Amino acid sequence: MFHRFFDEGLAQASFFLACPRSREAIIIDPRRDVDVYVEIAKSQGLRIAYTFETHVHADFACGSRELAAVGAKTIAGPGAHLRYANHEATHGERLRVGDISIEFMHTPGHTPEHLSILVNQQDQPTRIFSGDTLFVGAVGRPDLLGEDQTRRLAGDLYDSLFKKLLVLDERIQVHPGHGAGSLCGAGIGSEPFTTIGQEKRLNPMLQHKTKEAFVAAVLADLPDTPPYFARMKKMNQEGPPLLGMVNGYRGPAPLSPSATATAIRNGAVLIDLRPAAAFAASHPLGALNLAIGTKVGYWGGYVLPADAKVVLLGANHHETTEAARQLIRIGVSRIDGYINGGFDAWRDAGLPTGSIALSNVQELASAISDGNAPLVIDVRTTKEWNAGHIEGAMHIPLGDLARRAAEIPRDRPVATMCEAGYRSALAASVLSRSGVDGVVNITGGMSAWRALAPAPAAK
Amino acid sequence: MFHRFFDEGLAQASFFLACPRSREAIIIDPRRDVDVYVEIAKSQGLRIAYTFETHVHADFACGSRELAAVGAKTIAGPGAHLRYANHEATHGERLRVGDISIEFMHTPGHTPEHLSILVNQQDQPTRIFSGDTLFVGAVGRPDLLGEDQTRRLAGDLYDSLFKKLLVLDERIQVHPGHGAGSLCGAGIGSEPFTTIGQEKRLNPMLQHKTKEAFVAAVLADLPDTPPYFARMKKMNQEGPPLLGMVNGYRGPAPLSPSATATAIRNGAVLIDLRPAAAFAASHPLGALNLAIGTKVGYWGGYVLPADAKVVLLGANHHETTEAARQLIRIGVSRIDGYINGGFDAWRDAGLPTGSIALSNVQELASAISDGNAPLVIDVRTTKEWNAGHIEGAMHIPLGDLARRAAEIPRDRPVATMCEAGYRSALAASVLSRSGVDGVVNITGGMSAWRALAPAPAAK
């Protein structure tokens, strides 16, 4: 048995392997909401015997500690120092689980303790679970442990790739820990898996002939680092607080509007999951706008403070439950509940509301040519900003916005802008919450701006 | 082996079963782009021996005819009359494929020839593939074959459910052909599967005590019917034109802007896959705006004419390939190609462009209170319209818009409106293409309108 679970939001893959004879299952890099694995195991009459952590993750809170409650033993890499791990495997160590043969390979680079895991199962192709060492068309980033370690880890990554992985049989299937859109590597492909041979031939990073060229190329193309990454390593080493997910997850609890208002007074952040246009029309005063979809956790990681306590506002319990799962995956598990009755209930209770003005790139272009342009705050990443931006715009990356709101001059109206419109809505809500009045959200972002012909005043 | 494939756009499930000993595989209700099944079979050393069509589908073009090219035999229900089927199974008929035991059950209701398929596999729970008879928390719609058959089919559906399915062992897993969002049933739940026992207890439609009450309830809550449904039954009986998908799919071919312009002159519809804001800023004149995501096929089925020939405009080949797959699934396979270089190439070639004005609900509310409201064309379904709309708006469901464009009075500016903003962008492009000038797209739709407080002039 082999199943791949893919979280679209963080582009994170976990894997479920099982021996049909011994009825033992293994989960590789489990997500924190582990109910999905427990349910499958139950329905198939399997026992989750092990979890393998390929490495100490920086982008998601792992589920191994949760799964200990059903008797799973956790194996991590040498020097991982997970408080809750049962064993640290060394390079070349083997394990047999029923009819599944496992060989652990120590492949440092993305992190020092990183494991790649070679698996043979009956009636299945040989697979290597490469974690964040080797992706489809890309390699892991070596810079998440701080500048002092980056160059050494980049060199280790080269050795792991060229001396340990690429020397394997070319037909072996490679199943990486992430797909396209993850911030754990630059330019990851969208296919779920690849082969050693295909990566040897096509992965641009593996075409470099020397370690020096490889290291230089890896360091020249590093992805963005959201603020919450800094907290995840520690959380994953100590073990994310237990949520009892093995017993299933029913989602956050309903709260009356007044109980919600009390929670907010006590420090909870209200996350409004409605689309940007509905949020703009009216929303609970001070709410952040993280429209439902797959990216609530992903962008939440940029704007939610450490140890955030949150309350949710969505269209229904399905939405708030999905949002809660995504937040739990980035380590935000202090979720007080959701507003029972949604926005209507909040409004009907007479609680305070705010609104955001909406504009678009056509209006912005007119305002610029009329000489009354707003101050455009471009909240995209530095890489996006450098690839082209509106002249006169001010660059404040989304993750820095709350902290740097006071820097924004108030002599003109302030407008937020991003690439496609999701972040500008969130940014407008962040600024509004930070006390900047009259913020305008430019819908459609730079992708719409670039479509204007002739493109006025673009760099 | 058991895999479920889920197409988010049409909320359509297909299933891949295989016997690990005989290496034979079965696909239930394959999608038309069958390369995904062929690749898995290849990678696991399996032969696709059979496809089962639970019924003649109205919402997607099926893949059984494509899979005949790798030797798959097609089994359908009694009276399905698929030209390419090898066999029509009768109620109670059994089949063994390797160690997989199959029993076909004739469960008419959604369609007269509908099969439910009971499967036993080693190391797996007993499953019934219920097609469009029984869903999670819902039942199939019986009205797609025309009014004269609807009431009889609703009665058949009752008999199939109560006398054939609900009498099975309560622990049997039920795997339906659709999930939440499909138009083949009203109120389908989002879980991938259920059990006979759970449906018996919780499915609202199965709580009715008499056939009369059941039939009345089913007929009182019918989903919307997109125009393309009418074409699918015939296409699926004759067999959708062969595309050679068993050999893989590389996506549409690149076209130069001038070759694209020629294709358009020869009758091709240009589909612009960019987000609504970029489309509004500037787009190839006459293009339809179906922003990429999972719903290009779903909404394309509302606006594309029978036998449409299309050209695509997207951000990259990945996008145009995804869009092409979605269109192929709704029977639109005459895809001439995509514009190489995207919108920039079109613009730089000096080819004609158009634009759409954007507005939002705040501006609409002001315009209404100032007495200079535009004529709002509400393009939602009748059910959505009846649940509440803006006073003075004109209701033209999306699927009727091109045909009824001439009815729209031109004494005021025309604005399009939907529920969340996707359809209003598409509708604006449809009207613009139909020669209505100066159309305004109200972004955010009724969901944003309802958030305005106090809601002005809403019904």
Domain map of chain B by residue range?
2-233, 250-354, 357-451
Mean of the pLDDT values across residues A398-419?
Answer: 95
Domain range B357-451, CATH architecture: 3-Layer(aba) Sandwich (3.40)
With cut-offs at 50, 70 and 90, classify the pLDDT of residue A53: very high
User: For tokens 């909040």, what's the residue?
Assistant: A346
Q: Does residue B154 sit in helix, strand or coil?
A: helix
pLDDT tens-digit map of B333-379? 999 999 999 999 999 999 999 999 999 999 999 999 999 999 999 99
Collect all residues of chain A within an 8 Å Cβ-Cβ radius of residue B282: 451-453
Q: Nearest residue on chain A to B453, judged by CA atoms?
A: A282
Is 70 exceeded by the pLDDT of residue A457? no
Average pLDDT, chain A: 95
Average the pLDDT over B324-339 and give the result.
Answer: 97
Q: Which residues of A touch B421 (CB under 8 A)?
A: 275, 277
Quick one: pLDDT at residue B453?
Answer: 63
| pLDDT tens-digit readout, A358-370 | 999 999 999 999 9
Mapped to the 3 state alphabet, what secondary structure does B272-314 carry? ECCCHHHHHHCEECCCEECCCCCCHHHHHHHHCCCCCEEEEEC
User: What pLDDT band is residue A454 in, cutting at 50, 70 and 90?
Assistant: low
Question: What is the mean predicted confidence (pLDDT) over B157-179?
Answer: 97
Asked if residue B388 lies in contact with residue B446, where contact means CB atoms within 8 angstroms, the answer is: yes
In the predicted model, is pLDDT for residue A242 greater than 60? yes
- Nearest-Cα distance to chain A for B448, in Å, is 4
Amino acid at site A311: V
Whether the predicted pLDDT of B190 surpasses 90: no
Q: Is the pLDDT of residue A38 over 60?
A: yes
pLDDT at B186 over 50: yes
Residue A69 has a pLDDT of 95
Residue B146: pLDDT above 80? yes
In this complex, the residue of B190, B360, B450 whose CB is nearest that of residue A318 is B190
* CB neighbours of residue A212 within 10 Å: 11
Number of other CB atoms surrounding residue B248 within 10 Å:
11
Does the pLDDT at position B303 exceed 70? Answer: yes
Fold of B2-233: Metallo-beta-lactamase; Chain A (3.60.15)
Strand partners, A266: none
- The pLDDT of residue A122: 81
Q: Contacts of residue A420 in chain B, CB cutoff 8 Å?
A: 275, 277
Q: How far apart are CA B272 and CA B278, in angstroms?
A: 10
Å from B451 to nearest chain A CA?
6
Residue A453 has a pLDDT of: 62
pLDDT at residue A112, rounded to an integer: 97
* Residues B389-404 pLDDT 10s: 999 999 999 999 999 9
pLDDT tens per residue across span B99-139: 999 999 999 999 999 999 999 998 788 999 999 999 999 99
Predicted confidence (pLDDT) at residue A44 exceeds the cutoff of 90: no
For A200, the token pair is 């040897």
CA B82 – CA B66 distance, rounded (Å)? 13
**Banded pLDDT at A326 (limits 50, 70, 90):** very high
For residues A67-81, give the mean pLDDT. 97
When pLDDT is averaged across residues A107-133 and rounded to a whole number, the result is: 95
Select the residue from B39, B194, B282 to test the A interface by mutation, using most A Cβ atoms within 10 A: B282
CATH superfamily of A250-354: Rhodanese-like domain (3.40.250.10)
Same fold, A250-354 and A357-451: yes
Kindly state the average pLDDT of the residues A387-399: 96
A203 pLDDT higher than 90? yes
Cis peptide before A413 (omega within 30 of 0): no
d(CA A1, CA B395): 52
pLDDT band at A459 (very low <50, low <70, confident <90, very high): very low
